[in-house]
Every structure is written in structure tokens, then in C-alpha cells.
Amino acid sequence: MTQRMLSIIIVGARGRMGTALIREVMDSEDMTLGACVDRSGGPGIGQDAGRLAGGPDIGVLVTDELRPRRGSVVVDFSLPNATEARIRACVEQGIPLIIGTTGLSEEDDKLLVEAGQSIPIVYAANFSVGVTLLLQLAGVAAAALGPDWEAELFELHHRFKRDAPSGTALRIGQAVADATGRKFSEAVMTDRASLRRAREKQEIGVFGLRGGDSPGEHTLMFLGEGERIELTHRAGDRAIFARGALRAARWAASQPPGLYDMVDVLGLRE
């Protein structure tokens, strides 16, 4: 893949991540924009992708139909209601898929596992290199501190984000649960307002804040008697997620079939 330009197909081109991805590909020396796709009937269909991203025309028009070609990698940050169709299209053509869509259903998760038997897929709630390291540190810290330390997590995103808590926050909470032998679905607490009781020992608090234009902030706190540890990641620019997703695309282009995440991309898997 280092001998030729890697063709990137962006799905969800009109979104914040989509336009960030277009700009990063346009600035890349080893990638080319193969196609840009967005939802049917939406504004911007037929517009030049370069102009959509605030740059010059590049001769790639935004369409409403995904037609993946061999030798390409699909990078999908669209809405979850179209995820099944995107996965099946990539499987049919045998091309890698990078997917950052959050809020997927259990059926979508099962389909990803199934599709990973045929094509390389990198699925992550957050493609930031820093957040990937935070996930690793969360597990290490939770295991070292033990059950006497309580874990609480809050995240902040821009006012337009639809899901709360964020997929990344839930992944961090999952890492804490895995490291301490807890079942996350039973330990997670996202709303204490109506409980009217003290915090229970096994809880992992995960809470979402919405407002402003923040691309994403996550703070994990471990609270003990007389001391507190905080692990924080703040994203200042959405471009960091685009760069991480394209790093995953480069990596996936030469990988065998499998369902991967950014831990695999960064070579941190034990």
C-alpha cells in the first residue's frame, strides 16, 4: 500500500467528521478521495467535496449511493440507521471498513462480528490516539487500585451530539469494569437523581454533559479515602479523530479479516 495512493471512500461526508476527513485526505501525500457519500435527499448532494470542506473543487461529487471499489477503504461516520447496508456493501466487495458511528444496535454489533470473518473492520467509538491510551490506562489503574477505590466518569460534548453518555465514556467504564471483575451492564450508573440513596460500592458512574462546541472531553476519577486520581483527555480539534481514522484505514488496508479497534491499530494489544 505504500507504493500507491490509498483510495478513501467517506460515508457521512456532510457531517462534522465527514468534512474533517475530506480535508485530511486532501492534505495527505499517500491518500486520494475515491468517493463521498451522504444520505439520500439531503442538501449538498451533487456538490463538489472539496468545496463542501471549505477548499477548492477537486472533481469528486457528493452522492447518495455507496459503490465501494476494490483497492479502497470505506470510512463511515454516518447515522446508525444505515450501518447494516454499509457493512453488507463492504462485505460484498471485499474491502476494509473503518466505522466510527456510535449508538449501534445489538443487531449491528452482531453483524460486525459476522462481517469481520470476511473483511478487516476497525470499529471504535473514538479514533483519538490519546483516548485509546486513556482506555488502556483506565484498566491498568483500576486493577492496581482495587475495589476500595470508587470510579466516576464524566464527559462533555457539543450541544448537537445525540447520544449520552458518549460511546467513548461507556468504553472507558467498560475498561474499569473488566479490570475489576465487574459486569458493566450491572455496575454502570448514568442517573442518580431519582434513586434517593447512597452510592453503592460496585457502581461505576458515567455521566454526560452537553453544550458549546467541545469535540470531546473525558475525565475518569478514582476516589479513595483522602485522595483522588484523575485521568483526563481533552480534544481541541475534531481533526484528531479524522487523523486517527485515516491511520486506521492505512493499517486496515494490509490486514487479514477480523474485527479490530484502535488498540490493534496502535499495536497495544497484549
Binding residues for NAD(+), by number, are 12-17, 100-102, 124-127
Tens digits of pLDDT across the chain (270 residues)? 445 789 999 999 998 899 999 999 999 999 999 999 998 877 779 999 999 898 999 999 999 989 888 889 999 998 888 889 999 999 999 999 999 987 788 899 999 999 999 999 999 988 999 999 999 999 999 999 998 999 999 999 999 988 899 988 999 999 999 999 999 999 999 998 888 899 999 999 999 999 999 999 999 999 999 999 999 999 988 899 999 999 999 999 999 999 999 999 999 887
Q: Helix 167-179 to helix 129-145 angle, to the nearest 10 degrees?
A: 30
Contacts 24+ apart (CB under 8 A), 87-90: 87/111, 87/112, 87/115, 87/121, 88/115, 90/115, 90/119, 90/121
Q: What is the pTM of this model?
A: 0.81
What torsion do the CA atoms of 74, 75, 80, 83 make, to the nearest 10 degrees? 10
What torsion do the CA atoms of 107, 154, 187, 111 make, to the nearest 10 degrees? 10
Respond yes or no: is residue 110 known to be catalytic: no
CB-CB neighbours of 39 under 10 Å: 18
Binding residues, by number, are 12-17, 51, 100-102, 124-127, 158, 167-168
Catalytic annotation, pick one of 157, 183, 201, 218: 157
For each of the domains in the chain, give its residue range(s) and CATH number, in order of start.
6-123+238-265 (3.40.50.720), 129-235 (3.30.360.10)
Binding residues for NADP(+), by number, are 51
Indicate the residue type of 15: G
Cell readout for 4 is: 500507491
Respond yes or no: is residue 157 known to be catalytic: yes
